[in-house]
Amino acid sequence: MSNKIAIGLVTHAEGAHVGAYLQALAAAEQCGEVVLVDPDSRWDEEAERVLGDKLKHVVRDHKTLLREHRPQLVLVTMEAALAPPVIDDALDADCHVFAEKPACVRAEDFAPLANKADAKHRHLMLALANRINPEIRNSLCDLFRCGQRTCDENLVRNPALAWRSWFAGKPVQQSHRHLLTRLGSDSLARWARNVTPTRTFATQHLNAGMQHG
């Protein structure tokens, strides 16, 4: 049984952190091959340059990816308003899903995805790296008045409270202005609330989990 994972990277011209994801996929030993979905052809050349032989195909829509290439994991980095249908289709195709945050405009859009992932025993993950920042951990410990062990558990269960504290007074990056406008607010606290109802898993356990499911 191969230990390599077939991954579909679904994005578009405005996809966030695509270059970083390409670098990570190129470096990850567990990543055996990648199919890029890019309807705008924005990332074709960079994906070919960074991934080399790992890049097996480039297609223009995610349905083609799921129907013809059947990846084990789908990585979705799209605008929040566009991501939920893609995630839904990937779960229907029995794929694990890793999505860039935020992956929805409203919590109500994400809840059925989380429920579907649970029912199908698929991992549905969000890129919430800020939760392990020291300031986030300290904020959570203060908010929950807890010891380190309890704090570590709450890092998974409720990051948004700490995010609101951490984001207070921080400038909004220009790259996020359009997204925040589409969400109907220029508040990072509101942005954080939109990604609260998520099911996240430690990425270092991803490969082992997928090999058993």
- The predicted pLDDT at position 119 comes to 94
- The predicted pLDDT at position 149 comes to 47
Q: How many CB atoms lie within 10 A of CB 200?
A: 19
Integer angstrom CA distances of residue 36 from 40, 51, 190: 11, 10, 31
- The predicted pLDDT at position 187 comes to 41
* Gyration radius (Cα) of the chain, Å: 17
- The predicted pLDDT at position 133 comes to 61
Q: To the nearest whole number, what is the mean pLDDT of the chain?
A: 75
User: Looking at the structure, do residues 121 and 41 belong to the same domain, yes or no?
Assistant: yes
User: Looking at the structure, do residues 106 and 201 belong to the same domain, yes or no?
Assistant: yes
User: Looking at the structure, do residues 100 and 171 belong to the same domain, yes or no?
Assistant: no
Residue count of the chain, please give it: 213
User: Looking at the structure, do residues 60 and 121 belong to the same domain, yes or no?
Assistant: yes
User: Looking at the structure, do residues 189 and 206 belong to the same domain, yes or no?
Assistant: no
- The predicted pLDDT at position 79 comes to 92
Strand partners, 96: 73
User: Looking at the structure, do residues 27 and 119 belong to the same domain, yes or no?
Assistant: yes
For 136-172, how does the pLDDT look when each residue is reduced to its tens digit (9 = 90+)? 556 555 554 555 444 445 444 444 444 444 444 444 4
CA distance 78 to 81: 8
- The predicted pLDDT at position 105 comes to 85
User: Looking at the structure, do residues 93 and 114 belong to the same domain, yes or no?
Assistant: yes
- Structural domain of 52: 5-128+197-211
pTM for this prediction: 0.67
- The predicted pLDDT at position 2 comes to 64
CA torsion sign, 172 to 175 to 177 to 179? negative
| The token pair that represents 186 in the structure block | 């220029």
Q: If you write DSSP's letter for every residue of 37-57 in order, what string do you get?
A: E-TT-SSHHHHHHHHGGGEEE
Q: If you write DSSP's letter for every residue of 109-127 in order, what string do you get?
A: HHHHHHHHHHHHT--EEE-
User: Looking at the structure, do residues 134 and 37 belong to the same domain, yes or no?
Assistant: no
Q: CB–CB of 92/64 below 8 Å?
A: no
Instruction: Please list the ranges in the chain whose pLDDT falls under 70.
Output: 1-2, 129-213
User: Looking at the structure, do residues 22 and 124 belong to the same domain, yes or no?
Assistant: yes
- The predicted pLDDT at position 140 comes to 52
User: Looking at the structure, do residues 201 and 107 belong to the same domain, yes or no?
Assistant: yes
- The predicted pLDDT at position 167 comes to 46
Strand partners, 75: 9, 98
